[in-house]
Structure 1
Amino acid sequence: RRGGRAMSLRERSSGGAVVEAGEDAAAALAETDGPGRCLSLLPWDRFSAWLHCACVVGFDLELGQAVEVIYPPHSKLTDKEKTNICYLSFPDSNSGCLGDTQFCFRFRRSPGRKVSLCCFLDQLDRDLPVYLKKDPGYYYGYVYFRQVRDKSLKRGYFQKSLVLISKLPYVHLFRTMLKQIAPEYFEKSEAFLEAVCSDVDRWPPPIPGKILHLPIMGIIMKLRIPTYRDKPGTMPIVQNMHQADAQISMALPTVHEVDLFRCFCPVFFHIQMLWELVLLGEPLVVMAPSPSESSETVLALVSCISPLKYYSDFRPYFTIHDSEFKEYTTRTQAPPSVILGVTNPFFAKTLQHWPHIVRIGDIKLPGEVPKQVKVKKLKNLKTLDSKPGVYTSYKPYLNKDEEIVKQLQKGVQQKRPTEAQSVILRRYFLELTESFIIPL
């Protein structure tokens, strides 16, 4: 077995020392057997530690959305998984996403699949904070979608998505990676994708707590994956400190976080109530104009209770074609504990029985904090075009904290960078969550 060999044999490091598998497996695999190489596993094992596969989804006039390429070719996806990837990789037609759009989705894995390297990946998983641990039942899809006019095509538009499928919730890492490789892929096609995947297969394992150097098509991404030992709210700075780092093109400040302030700006005055709803596992739907806005907002909601893990289901982008559509929209039972991000106007009617609805307008870099608005009544939500706001009859337990509002408003007036605003907001959510945990 591929994974069995990696964990059951004793590996010899380049220095000649024998390393026992087990507790030191991750460390052993991080040793090199040559310049920039990890100890030899089978081909594509290092790739599999980061990604399941890369897919290209195009539009066929007869078939509609279709998976055109899966790489590496031996990667296994069931028909159900392929169908979900097809529909989740394209914005709904009403979104009108011209140009390039990035977003992410999450979908259920088909049961019964054996996982290569499972022991090794479990070892790495053990050192992660609880909110970054893999959920074996789900995959993430990280999408770079391009739609441009092309008169040479029968439909008049070029429409294609490059999608990275992974078990890892490293949103910022894969978003950054796609931003670097996708535009070039659309120009150079399949040979370029093969080269990208070969680069990933040279990466070191995703070991928490280590500074990792990940080469990808001529640039090097430098990053650190958090560990459970890190103090909540702190983030060791990854920066170019030594002369030897001169070739590094990009230091990532985070592998998993989204721009919290930018995401919450449209519903700024309700952040405390939204934190309560997420903490309680209440059914919540985010209605947004595009998959980019819906996915970022859902991910921001899920992260606001950190360092706790959100254990209910969440779908950053959800469509009417999703295999769980009927399960999540039925009126014969109470809405499940899930956070859905949607863009299709049809959901305004289908999900109008849900108790909490967040309506997001276009997310722009916040030049000003929106004027204070009251929580809206659910009966006032008629269509997806309704005004942005929170539609619910929920009565919060906590009194509104005016101090955080003033602090962030002052930041906007002083043109404080949105990254700094996000740090303040993240610290505020952390204090809320810790004050909830302390008596437990």
Structure 2
Amino acid sequence: MSSSAWVICFVSIRFDLDIGPVIDHVVPSDALSDEGKRILTQTAFPDCNPESGHDLIFFFHMKDVTAAAARSQAETVVAPCRKQTVSYIHGATYYRQKRDPSVPRGYVQQAFVLLSRLPYMAVHELILRVVVPRLCQCCELSPDMDKVPVLSALSPIPTTFFEVDSSFNPSQYSQKEVLERAIEEIEGWPSPHPHVQYNVTLLYQPLTFVTPKRCLQKIDAEISPVNRHAMHLDDRVAFLGSKHQSVGARDVIPLYALLSELLRHLTQIWELLLCHESIFIWSNTPSMASAVAVAVASLVQPLEYNGILRSYFTVQDEIFNRFSRMGKGIPFSTTESIIVAGTNPFFFRAFDGWHNILTVVDRQARSTGGAITVEEKGNNGNECTDANTGNGMNPITITTTTTTTTTSSTTSSSTATTPVRRGEGSGSGSNNNNNNNHHHHSVSPKGIPLVNEHMTPPESPRVFTYRNFFPVLTAARQNTSFLPIMSGGGTGDKCFNHHKVVNMFKSTYPFLVDHKAQTAILLHRLEQASRLNAEAQLASLNAHVWNGISHLEECTNSSDVTDCTDRINTESDSAHIFSQYSIADDIVRKFFVTLTKEFIKPVNAWFQAMTSPLTVFHLCDPATVCALTSDSFLNFLKENRESVPSFLSCHPYKTYSVMYERFAKGSLFHSVVWQLVETNIRQGLEEMQVDVWAREYPSEAERIDMFINLYKLVQREVTHSIDPDVVFVTMAISVLAEMVAYVSEPLRDQFMLKIRELKI
């Protein structure tokens, strides 16, 4: 069993013509139970054949059926009146489909899976992009000789990051040996923690990334302690501190690149999520399906989406029967939304009880026949139509920004290459990639990937142009639906044959937001950005530096902007493209962050009124959190309407209060309350002056209660987290140690012993 907290295991799955998906290797071999292996073949392998000319990465969730979980469950005693909670783990699949006439059926189909308990989506993708190409080079059946483009949530245009390492080949390594070596190296990495920069090496490839932020463990959540390995830190770790703006795991998702054809629907989707409505998403490829699911969930940021997210769902999933009966025999929950994404056209029939259906076409996929018609169904007579980027032959050019994935010391040129169809030749082998890349017309001198054969080359690889935005703008303003994607058109999938797919939004209550007006604002901002010249766009992007995979370092003054710009310029030769993030993506992200912040202003006002007399130690008390109820908020809203945003206050209170009632009765309300509590706790500890606190609270009984409240919060973070927040824990322990000095003996010594037990 792996001793790494980063990865539970790697799994290699191949498609057998006679029996379907078969597991070849699990590394470590004892990581999965027999049930886990069965479920994985049903969950991690596409259940509809994606006809794409490139490899795919997609993300999924599955029940924790690891061997460790099975042992823990057997040892756990649960009271008869309580159900044993089901935990889920995170999965990432690198799907390889290569045309090769020398093998049966003419195709090699493999899925390489990474399983982890950490929600570090971008880190998982980066690991797969290093490990899997080396695995494919060592495939005895059909080894890869060239770089292969990969499409994912972070790279909607198929892209390669790293050079071919010719030392990995079938004569040197088996695929199992590559996986074993990768696990061994990852086990030697420093322990994972949020908001930390790592400089590590994997299979000779140096990597630099920053882990995303996360909330502290909730003090009122029913979760069990984790079996966590001891903290291991060394000079490969840099703690960024509070002065660096931390970014969540989903902030690197390029929203415009993924959702540009749906711009006029996005505010509707946003409103549905805030009201805990459920959404089914269908696409023709698993990479697009899972990417859009994650993108949709991120529309409510800065709130942390805490509903059910099944970013890739197959018909074999054990919960399929329940989901397919929802809206028919089983009612939808009004307190928790569900986002389900899949690729099987059968879902349209199975999920016909779902009120909200979203269809997103991966136009990088290759058509094998049959027209795709997207039908729009309205809500209460209000027609819903889609934006359209054109006929699929010239999709939007996605601009890019850099992250720091460091090149190998043996490679001096770019890692990017022009996407090619698998098995049709790339024009470069492992020995001449450097020379060919330097002269190929589809790769910039600094190696930034441009476009594939069906795309219009942009003026600059990081520039969002009006020429490419115009079809989206026109379609959105004219309420134009998708044009049919005809066979032989370079897009689509044979799964589409004879299927009419739909976009449908039928909320159980009337939409309140003026979506036409809000969409017009978003389109106007995008149009303004598209008319900026390259220098202006780059200056805007360079004001925020991607410092690693999922981190934005915000520059606060003009000198910082200059420093940030210089850093991008100096690192451009050694940094690799990871997230294809443009100024358009930044605008869409900021638009919805602002919209959400406006919506929760009444919640902020209520929270401030409720907690202003409380100390940071009171906020650490579970009883305080339990007192921050939805009924309390709704009563406050009734008496204090001035903080309601203008896009809702144009309605009577009786009308817009319905939306706030739906929000307050669900899981997102609890999410925002805990985020506010956590923010105040962190800020309070940073500003804490223990001597002042001791003067304000002379009663030793009060001091002891406050010490215990903070201690229990820190203890929960240490014992219930695989990746404890080291910065917070260290700060809190320092405060606890100072507080002990104001407690008399013998409790002082006892408290010091308890503090020493807080080992991470």
TM-score range normalised by the length of the shorter chain: 0.7 to 0.9
For each residue in 1:293-322, what CA deviation from the matched residue of structure 2 results, as whole angstroms up to 9, or x when unmatched? 100000011112123222221111111111
> What is residue 392 of structure 1 aligned with on the other side?
505
**How far apart, in 2, do the equivalents of 1:195 and 1:179 lie?**
15
- 1:383 Cα offset (Å): 9.2
> Is 2:330 aligned against 1:333?
yes
- 1:384 Cα offset (Å): 8.6
Aligned residue identity for 1:322: D
Question: Is the CA contact 1:102–1:143 (under 8 Å) kept in the aligned structure 2?
Answer: yes
For each residue in 1:331-375, what CA deviation from the matched residue of structure 2 results, as whole angstroms up to 9, or x when unmatched? 312245311111111111111221001111225545332512659
> What is residue 432 of structure 1 aligned with on the other side?
595
> What is residue 129 of structure 2 aligned with on the other side?
179
For each residue in 1:368-407, what CA deviation from the matched residue of structure 2 results, as whole angstroms up to 9, or x when unmatched? 325126599xxxxx9994467x311334221231222211
**How far apart, in 2, do the equivalents of 1:146 and 1:93 lie?**
14
Q: 2:286 aligns with which of 287, 291, 303?
A: 291
**How far apart, in 1, do the equivalents of 2:192 and 2:72 lie?**
17
Question: Is the CA contact 1:224–1:255 (under 8 Å) kept in the aligned structure 2?
Answer: no
- 1:211 Cα offset (Å): 1.7
Partner SS, residue 257 of structure 2? helix
Aligned residue identity for 1:101: L
Aligned residue identity for 1:290: T
Question: Is the CA contact 2:198–2:208 (under 8 Å) kept in the aligned structure 1?
Answer: yes
- 1:166 Cα offset (Å): 1.1
> Is 2:53 aligned against 1:56?
no
Partner SS, residue 127 of structure 2? helix
Alignment of 1:143-158 (within 5 A): 143-158=93-108
**How far apart, in 1, do the equivalents of 2:6 and 2:256 lie?**
28
Partner SS, residue 163 of structure 1? strand
Aligned residue identity for 2:588: L
- 1:269 Cα offset (Å): 1.1
- 1:115 Cα offset (Å): 6.1
**How far apart, in 1, do the equivalents of 2:212 and 2:48 lie?**
38
Q: 2:585 aligns with which of 417, 422, 425?
A: 422
> What is residue 37 of structure 2 aligned with on the other side?
82
Aligned residue identity for 1:176: L
- 1:114 Cα offset (Å): 5.0
Question: Is the CA contact 2:253–2:581 (under 8 Å) kept in the aligned structure 1?
Answer: no
Alignment of 1:33-72 (within 5 A): 44-45=2-3, 47=4, 49-72=5-28
Question: Is the CA contact 2:213–2:249 (under 8 Å) kept in the aligned structure 1?
Answer: no
> Is 2:317 aligned against 1:322?
yes
Q: 1:141 aligns with which of 86, 91, 99?
A: 91
> What is residue 100 of structure 1 aligned with on the other side?
55
User: Sequence identity of aligned pairs in percent?
Assistant: 24
Partner SS, residue 102 of structure 1? strand
> What is residue 521 of structure 2 aligned with on the other side?
403
- 1:156 Cα offset (Å): 2.2
Q: Structure 1 residues 365, 92: CA separation in 2 closer, same or farther (over 3 Å shift)?
A: farther
Q: Structure 1 residues 227, 59: CA separation in 2 closer, same or farther (over 3 Å shift)?
A: closer
**How far apart, in 2, do the equivalents of 1:385 and 1:203 lie?**
48
**How far apart, in 1, do the equivalents of 2:355 and 2:248 lie?**
34
**How far apart, in 1, do the equivalents of 2:313 and 2:215 lie?**
34
Q: Structure 1 residues 437, 412: CA separation in 2 closer, same or farther (over 3 Å shift)?
A: same
**How far apart, in 2, do the equivalents of 1:201 and 1:258 lie?**
28
**How far apart, in 2, do the equivalents of 1:78 and 1:431 lie?**
47
Aligned length: 352
For each residue in 1:244-287, what CA deviation from the matched residue of structure 2 results, as whole angstroms up to 9, or x when unmatched? 99xxxxxxx98543222112212111111111112222110011
Q: 2:264 aligns with which of 262, 269, 284?
A: 269
Q: Which runs of 5+ in 2 are unaligned?
A: 74-84, 139-174, 217-235, 238-246, 364-394, 398-467, 482-495, 538-579, 604-760
Question: Is the CA contact 2:61–2:88 (under 8 Å) kept in the aligned structure 1?
Answer: yes
Q: Structure 1 residues 169, 72: CA separation in 2 closer, same or farther (over 3 Å shift)?
A: same
RMSD of the alignment, in Å?
3.1
Partner SS, residue 168 of structure 1? coil
Question: Is the CA contact 1:104–1:316 (under 8 Å) kept in the aligned structure 2?
Answer: yes
- 1:177 Cα offset (Å): 2.0
**How far apart, in 1, do the equivalents of 2:53 and 2:596 lie?**
39
**How far apart, in 1, do the equivalents of 2:189 and 2:512 lie?**
47
Aligned residue identity for 1:353: G
Aligned residue identity for 2:12: V
Question: Is the CA contact 1:296–1:316 (under 8 Å) kept in the aligned structure 2?
Answer: yes
> What is residue 354 of structure 2 aligned with on the other side?
354
TM-score (norm. length: structure 1)? 0.72
Question: Is the CA contact 2:63–2:86 (under 8 Å) kept in the aligned structure 1?
Answer: no
Q: Structure 1 residues 115, 159: CA separation in 2 closer, same or farther (over 3 Å shift)?
A: same
Higher relative contact order (CA 8 A, sep 6+): 2
Question: Is the CA contact 2:214–2:248 (under 8 Å) kept in the aligned structure 1?
Answer: no
Which structure has the bigger radius of gyration? 2
Q: 1:202 aligns with which of 188, 199, 205?
A: 188
Q: Structure 1 residues 438, 165: CA separation in 2 closer, same or farther (over 3 Å shift)?
A: same
Q: Which has the higher strand share?
A: 1
> What is residue 225 of structure 2 aligned with on the other side?
none
Aligned residue identity for 1:60: D
**How far apart, in 2, do the equivalents of 1:192 and 1:165 lie?**
17
- 1:113 Cα offset (Å): 3.4
Aligned residue identity for 1:362: D
**How far apart, in 2, do the equivalents of 1:374 and 1:405 lie?**
13
Alignment of 1:162-173 (within 5 A): 162-173=112-123
**How far apart, in 1, do the equivalents of 2:34 and 2:350 lie?**
28
- 1:183 Cα offset (Å): 1.4
Q: Structure 1 residues 365, 90: CA separation in 2 closer, same or farther (over 3 Å shift)?
A: farther
Question: Is the CA contact 1:349–1:383 (under 8 Å) kept in the aligned structure 2?
Answer: no
Aligned residue identity for 1:352: D
Aligned residue identity for 2:6: W
> What is residue 211 of structure 1 aligned with on the other side?
197
Q: Structure 1 residues 391, 334: CA separation in 2 closer, same or farther (over 3 Å shift)?
A: same
- 1:150 Cα offset (Å): 2.4
Q: Structure 1 residues 409, 397: CA separation in 2 closer, same or farther (over 3 Å shift)?
A: same
Aligned residue identity for 1:333: I
Partner SS, residue 208 of structure 2? strand
Q: Structure 1 residues 100, 383: CA separation in 2 closer, same or farther (over 3 Å shift)?
A: closer
Partner SS, residue 205 of structure 1? coil
Q: Structure 1 residues 101, 408: CA separation in 2 closer, same or farther (over 3 Å shift)?
A: same
**How far apart, in 2, do the equivalents of 1:396 and 1:409 lie?**
26
- 1:325 Cα offset (Å): 0.8
